[in-house]
A and B are shown apart, each in its own frame.
Chain A
Amino acid sequence: MAFKVLHYINQFFAGIGGEDKADHGPEVREGIVGPGLQLKKLLGDEGVIAATFICGDNYFATHTEEVLALFAKTLKEHTPDLVLAGPSFYAGRYGFACGHVINEARKVLGIPGIAGMNVESPAVEMFRNDMFIVQTGDSVKSMKPALEDMAALAGKVLRKEPLGPAAMEKYFHRGIRKNFFARENGGVRAVDMLLKKMRKEAFVSEYLQEIPEKIPFALSVKDLGKANVAILNTGGIVPIGNPDRIESSSATKFGVYSIRGMNRLDPEEFMSIHGGYDTHFVNEDPNRVAPVDVLSDMVREGMLGKLHEFIYTTVGTGASLLNAEGFGREIASLLNKAGVDAAIMVST
């Protein structure tokens, strides 16, 4: 049985008209329209374009929610396996619409979508992380290769074939790194790269990263005697039994644990689940990583205003930067809401 495809195009490619018809409202036509003819040929027996959804670019931009609601309805009626959108080449509003309908298809039916855009289209950066956007030329003149590349990728996606890297499949990479086995080992590749670099020949770095954002330090606390202070740690201090099942390395979560009414952490109640250091000394006395005992003393002596009633825990070793950043932002917002003035961050 052939796969079903829903095709999205704008008023221009539907033959309705150019910029003067950009306010054309959405409509659904059975079967193929415009570039769909060529797509149908390229898909061959494998795919059938069940319907074509058409909308004027201005109308889409000004009535996005309304159009998407109709698109969702169309998805449910036709239950396609894939959405193809465009190609929209350089066009901004058209590209925007293509990105939105593919996102809608994923949300409504959980199906993939493929767009086709030129590198200069602002929609590329907006949507590339969420979908396949095939790289096209900058105008309708490159329609033929654009459709060929979109159809080729569509075939593989529909058949659930393993895909090659973005560069080989001709789509804008989705910000995803995927492993593969190179021909030579890393050492040989490194020496080759260095020889090229020293000769000032062109070389391709296998990875480059943006410079991470540097976070300025918060202002110092004016009066510690009035401050509400929290304890954070990446040393894995959790209640015995690890209720949140925080991993002992490359953690995917953090935990929040009440210390209300405690003036020290009891080793019968708390332990460390960190895998990257010898935790014996912490399990003897968890205060060695989360110093509830000393801070409680300081509160009693008036040096600190108050000890915040929760501790926040994760495991630092092997965490991805994205996860760690996420934990940081979430914890910071919890602390802000709780009116915490300062935090002690214990790393291990």
Chain B
Amino acid sequence: MKLEFRKIQVNGLEWADKTTVRDGVLYINREEATKACGEYPVLEGITLHLARPGEKVRILPVKAAVEPRCKVTEEGSMFPGIVGRIAQAGIGTTLALKGAAVLVTENNDSEVKCRTGALVDMSGPGADYTPFSSTFNIVLNARVNRQAMGRETLTTDEACRIAGFRLAVYLADCCKNLKADSSNNYELPEADPELPGVVYVLQLLAQNPEIIDFHVYGQLAGSHFIPTLVHPNELLDGGVTTFLGSHCTVCADKQYMYEVQNSPVVERLYQEHGKTLRFLGVVVHNEVLTFQGKERSSLFTVNLAKKLGARGAILVTEGHGNPDEDIMLNVEGLERAGISTVIISDELGGRDGRSPGLADWVPECDAMVSVGNMHEILAVPKEQKILIGNEGSMDIVRALVEQPPEDRDSFYIELKDIPLACAQAGLTRLSARWA
């Protein structure tokens, strides 16, 4: 499977008559782009905003983040089953607008039925912890219908989810005839069989059916899904998609679509393929709620790695608590099969950093990359000049503390409320160490 991957670097963002990139600036026709999001009876409307690095802008709740990508060729499909037709993803030619991101938020939710915090500050102390403070963001602000949200949140979330993917494809699609800044091929040619085979185990939450859950080629994975094997190229084209939605109380350690698209482990394994290892593929594992379900999923994940002849595995996870059991079952099974494992996980160390970080641990687990303690508190300004999203959601992110910060214009939040602060697919640099 071969994918030509073209990149256009975005270093600026402006409204204009025509959606295109010129001299690194992404110009957007606001009306056309809004239309491209689609119409949804459940929403009262969609407004687009721009948010650039360094601006005094706060966006919350960030329910989704997607890098704009599209297919340049007839061959292949982008976000198959959601935007693109059901066809093989990961082949043909793809265009990505690097440095840009579509962020999905909402407003008019005065009763705060959306319980996701997810605060992105484009400047200030909070900005250091999220990759979305350094991307040029096209913010899709969905005006929710209060009555609809009062009944249930899923219908609204589905509209937001689909609108976000559509906008991401639209933006790239308008640029597909432009000259790319760079291009490279993603493929996994035959490699020296003596090199150790490595699999990427992508554990994703499948818990809150149709809310915090992932899709494979547009199909909801959920608890019925059996772990399967995909080619890493398929991740680059959105064959597996994620979405946070309204009930994601911790967003720091969830895999926003942007992180799945930009997985640094996948990138590095491609680079090392044929040199120090053979990249055998991606095992997509669903983190379900029941213990029996976890045992079943783990059985299939371990068997897939064994059948592929893997000697090593990198496990990335989503969430914490019960998903830690998925990690430990997988590590136990893989290590007992002679497959070396490294896990990437965050820690739930408590605000004082004194709590054990994971809900469980097995003796076989001896190699972990820590992406930080998500409970650590951080003082951020009470207000930014502009807030895009839902004012009422501020109540969710305010951490109750005995001692407020010295700076009276600030308040404390836990890192858990900053998107990708503790990125469990390894996108960001936060870690933790003993003190």
Chain A interfacial positions (CB closer than 8 Å to B) = 129, 163, 165-167, 173-191, 193-195, 197-198, 203, 205-212, 245, 247-250, 252, 275-278, 280, 316-323
The answer to whether A179 touches B372, judged by C-beta atoms less than 8 angstroms apart, is yes
A-side binding surface: helix, strand, loop or mixed?
A: loop
**B152 touches A (CB below 8 Å):** yes
B-side binding surface: helix, strand, loop or mixed?
A: loop
Give residues of chain B (218-254) contacting chain A, Cβ–Cβ below 8 Å. Answer: 246-250
The 4 A-B residue pairs whose C-beta atoms are closest, nearest first, are: A187-B264, A187-B426, A186-B426, A249-B249
Q: Look across to chain A and name the residue whose beta carbon is closest to the beta carbon of B356.
A: A321
The answer to whether B433 touches A178, judged by C-beta atoms less than 8 angstroms apart, is yes
Using known A-B contacts A165-B433, A179-B372, A206-B431, determine if residue A322 contacts B344 with beta carbons closer than 8 Å: no
Please, could you name 7 A-B residue pairs with CB atoms under 8 Å apart, sorted by A?
A: A175-B354, A186-B424, A191-B265, A195-B277, A198-B340, A207-B347, A317-B321
Chain A residues, Cβ within 8 Å of B432? 177-180, 206-207
Query: Which of B151, B344, B424 neighbours the largest number of chain A CB atoms within 10 Å of its CB?
Result: B344
**B276 touches A (CB below 8 Å):** yes
**B87 touches A (CB below 8 Å):** no
The answer to whether A180 touches B367, judged by C-beta atoms less than 8 angstroms apart, is no
Chain B residues, Cβ within 8 Å of A166? 433-435
Chain B residues, Cβ within 8 Å of A190? 265, 314, 316, 342, 344, 369, 426
Chain B residues, Cβ within 8 Å of A185? 264, 423, 426-429
The answer to whether B400 touches A252, judged by C-beta atoms less than 8 angstroms apart, is yes
Classify chain B: how many residues form its interface, as a range: 35 or more
Q: A193 to B198, alpha carbons, bound, how many Å?
A: 13
Chain B residues, Cβ within 8 Å of A247? 400
Chain A residues, Cβ within 8 Å of B208? 276-278
Chain B residues, Cβ within 8 Å of A176? 352-354, 434-435
Closest chain B CB from A69 CB (angstroms): 30
Using known A-B contacts A208-B368, A317-B250, determine if residue A187 contacts B152 with beta carbons closer than 8 Å: no
Beyond A178-B376, A195-B277, list 11 extra A-B contacts (CB 8 Å): A177-B357, A180-B433, A187-B426, A191-B342, A195-B276, A208-B368, A209-B356, A277-B208, A319-B321, A320-B375, A321-B358
Chain B residues, Cβ within 8 Å of A187? 263-265, 267-268, 344, 425-427
Q: Look across to chain B and name the residue whose beta carbon is closest to the beta carbon of A278.
A: B153
Closest chain A CB from B318 CB (angstroms): 13
Chain A residues, Cβ within 8 Å of B396? 248, 275
Q: Look across to chain B and name the residue whose beta carbon is closest to the beta carbon of A281.
A: B152
Q: Look across to chain A and name the residue whose beta carbon is closest to the beta carbon of B427.
A: A185
Q: A318 to B115, alpha carbons, bound, how many Å?
A: 13
The answer to whether B344 touches A197, judged by C-beta atoms less than 8 angstroms apart, is no
Please pick, from A184, A186, A191, A212, the residue contacting B269 in the complex, using a CB distance under 8 A. Answer: A191
The answer to whether A323 touches B350, judged by C-beta atoms less than 8 angstroms apart, is yes
Q: A73 to B268, alpha carbons, bound, how many Å?
A: 62
Q: Look across to chain B and name the residue whose beta carbon is closest to the beta carbon of A189.
A: B369
Q: A250 to B352, alpha carbons, bound, how many Å?
A: 13
- What is the total of A-B residue contacts with beta carbons within 8 Å? 230
Chain B residues, Cβ within 8 Å of A167? 433-434
**B371 touches A (CB below 8 Å):** yes
Interface string of B92-136 (1 = CB under 8 A from A): 000000000000000000000001100000000000100000000
Q: A65 to B408, alpha carbons, bound, how many Å?
A: 43
Closest chain B CB from A274 CB (angstroms): 8
Interface string of B361-377 (1 = CB under 8 A from A): 11101111111111110
Chain B residues, Cβ within 8 Å of A175? 354, 434
Q: A203 to B362, alpha carbons, bound, how many Å?
A: 19
Q: Look across to chain B and name the residue whose beta carbon is closest to the beta carbon of A129.
A: B354
**B36 touches A (CB below 8 Å):** no
Chain A residues, Cβ within 8 Å of B426? 185-190
Q: A180 to B415, alpha carbons, bound, how many Å?
A: 12
Q: A190 to B345, alpha carbons, bound, how many Å?
A: 10
Q: A181 to B422, alpha carbons, bound, how many Å?
A: 11
Q: A238 to B265, alpha carbons, bound, how many Å?
A: 43
The answer to whether A197 touches B340, judged by C-beta atoms less than 8 angstroms apart, is yes
Q: Look across to chain B and name the residue whose beta carbon is closest to the beta carbon of A249.
A: B249
Using known A-B contacts A187-B265, A249-B250, determine if residue A179 contacts B196 with beta carbons closer than 8 Å: no
The answer to whether A278 touches B431, judged by C-beta atoms less than 8 angstroms apart, is no
Closest chain B CB from A273 CB (angstroms): 9
Using known A-B contacts A179-B373, A211-B362, determine if residue A320 contacts B340 with beta carbons closer than 8 Å: no
The answer to whether B357 touches A207, judged by C-beta atoms less than 8 angstroms apart, is yes
The answer to whether A193 touches B312, judged by C-beta atoms less than 8 angstroms apart, is no
Closest chain B CB from A307 CB (angstroms): 27
Chain B residues, Cβ within 8 Å of A252? 351, 400
Closest chain A CB from B356 CB (angstroms): 5
Closest chain A CB from B268 CB (angstroms): 4
**B69 touches A (CB below 8 Å):** no
Using known A-B contacts A178-B353, A179-B373, A275-B247, determine if residue A191 contacts B435 with beta carbons closer than 8 Å: no
The answer to whether B249 touches A317, judged by C-beta atoms less than 8 angstroms apart, is yes
The answer to whether A318 touches B321, judged by C-beta atoms less than 8 angstroms apart, is yes
Please pick, from A180, A203, A245, A322, the residue contacting B431 in the complex, using a CB distance under 8 A. Answer: A180
Please pick, from B416, B423, B433, the residue contacting A206 in the complex, using a CB distance under 8 A. Answer: B433
Chain A residues, Cβ within 8 Å of B299? none
Query: Which of A177, A248, A280, A319 neighbours the largest number of chain B CB atoms within 10 Å of its CB?
Result: A177
Closest chain B CB from A263 CB (angstroms): 28
Q: A130 to B351, alpha carbons, bound, how many Å?
A: 16
The answer to whether B357 touches A280, judged by C-beta atoms less than 8 angstroms apart, is no
Chain B residues, Cβ within 8 Å of A211? 361-363
The answer to whether B431 touches A186, judged by C-beta atoms less than 8 angstroms apart, is yes
Q: A180 to B355, alpha carbons, bound, how many Å?
A: 17
The answer to whether B247 touches A276, judged by C-beta atoms less than 8 angstroms apart, is yes
Chain A residues, Cβ within 8 Å of B373? 177-179
